[in-house]
Amino acid sequence: MRLTTKGRYAVTAMLDLALHSSERPVSLADISQRQDISLSYLEQLFSKLRRCNLVSSVRGPGGGYRLSRGGGDIFVAQIIDAVNDTFDATGCGGKADCQQGEVCLTHYLWCDLSDQIHGFLSAISLSQLLEKREVLTIAARQDARSDAGQRVPAIEIKGDTLLVTEI
Amino acid sequence: MRLTTKGRYAVTAMLDLALHSSERPVSLADISQRQDISLSYLEQLFSKLRRCNLVSSVRGPGGGYRLSRGGGDIFVAQIIDAVNDTFDATGCGGKADCQQGEVCLTHYLWCDLSDQIHGFLSAISLSQLLEKREVLTIAARQDARSDAGQRVPAIEIKGDTLLVTEI
DNA sequence: CGATTACCTACTAAATTGGTCAACTATAAG
DNA sequence: CTTATAGTTGACCAATTTAGTAGGTAATCG
């Protein structure tokens, strides 16, 4: 398990996707603008996310990416694993020159810690993160009650109806 | 919180230190041999570990390093933080151009995950790891003998928090 | 003294991160 | 059919980090 900025970018992008893909697919350009991640870097990340079946793509005008399944079935660990292609574990696992049992054990202990964290992140879904976000948003609104509540509505024109969704 | 090979090297070296420093100080050359880490890289790591008061040094022949205090008072998170000097958090925390509350929130959620992992690793001491090592050694011996391999789960996932019951 | 070992600085090679660019392909809208 | 949109791929690049080297100084012990 590796925790780097790469994984954070991926999780952030997936959160953005989960937030905005209720109606139409979300283009990487949109995510790039909203989350301030370079478009080309997003392309790299989503190429891997797609290969791991975490997102599905829709081509052509109005296309973009969607979560491949519900946010409740996509877990943070899956996202991080998808973009960290080289999970060589310990370098010791593969090599046969582990001269002493002791070396193996210390490596094993590190693996164990890593696995525990992996298990932790495997239990947190995108939906759970979003729920937490809602809680935090409400808390923030209550904090800044006196000021303008600045809710940001997303207005979409769908056919002949006007869709106003509060985010 | 960053989990990379650097931190793993540091934890491995500290485990080696905890294992062998009961009598005399342990030289980096010894650790280098036993754990197959280059001596110079160990010097870099231990320079930081010493600056963070995790180890104390003894110069001269027969010198080396010792844990600065009992293994029960040194925690994995401290070791990892010591060698990862640049803990810039999210890059968003400092920057003021967080245009929308939304961006801050996704970043905040990542921070929150990271903090939970940090808290998790802050609860695991070197001594606990060593105890686990003993358990595993015994278990391995028992496995080899009677094929009764059962691994005791030390950490439970309860909601989105980690319960460290016993290690 | 001389051997040992920590300690320090500078340097280098490899890998990773983050990003750019260009060409290409599939698709949907007009 | 044409064209714009948008995904896909691959090559390339700069900055940073990781990992390791080389060479020296300082302290300490026998």
Of B3, B8, B36, the CB nearest to A103: B36
Q: Which residues touch strand C (CB under 7 A)?
A: A 2, 4-6, 9, 37-41, 43-44, 58-63, 84, 86; B 25-29, 40, 43-44, 46-47, 50, 57-65
Tell me, what's the pLDDT at A141? 64
Tell me, what's the pLDDT at A163? 25
pTM for this one?
0.78
Half-sphere CA count of B2, side-chain side, radius 13 A: 17
**Burial of A150: CB neighbours in 10 Å, binned 0-12, 13-18, 19+:** exposed
Contact residues, chain B, for A113 at CB < 8 Å: 76, 121, 124
**Cβ separation of B11 and A124 shorter than 8 Å?**
no
Distance CA B137, CA B142 (A): 9
Tell me, what's the pLDDT at A4? 84
Confidence of residue B54 (pLDDT cuts 50, 70, 90): very high
CB B118 under 7 Å to nucleic chain D: no
| Nearest residue in A to B118, CA atom | A117
For A3-61, what is each residue's pLDDT tens digit? 888 888 899 889 988 888 777 889 998 888 888 888 889 999 999 999 889 999 988 88
- State the sign of the Cα–Cα–Cα–Cα dihedral B88, B94, B98, B102: positive
Distance CA B24, CA B22 (A): 6
**Cβ separation of A2 and B1 shorter than 8 Å?**
no
| Nearest residue in B to A118, CA atom | B117
C-alpha separations of B100 from A22, A29, B107 in Å: 20, 17, 11
Q: In chain B, what are the domain boundaries?
A: 5-131, 132-167
Tell me, what's the pLDDT at A46? 93
Over 90: is that where the pLDDT of A98 sits? no
**Average pLDDT value over all residues in chain A:** 73
Which whole number is the average pLDDT over B38-66? 92
Tell me, what's the pLDDT at B5? 85
Beta-sheet pairing, B64-67 with B55-58:
antiparallel
CATH of domain A5-131: 1.10.10.10
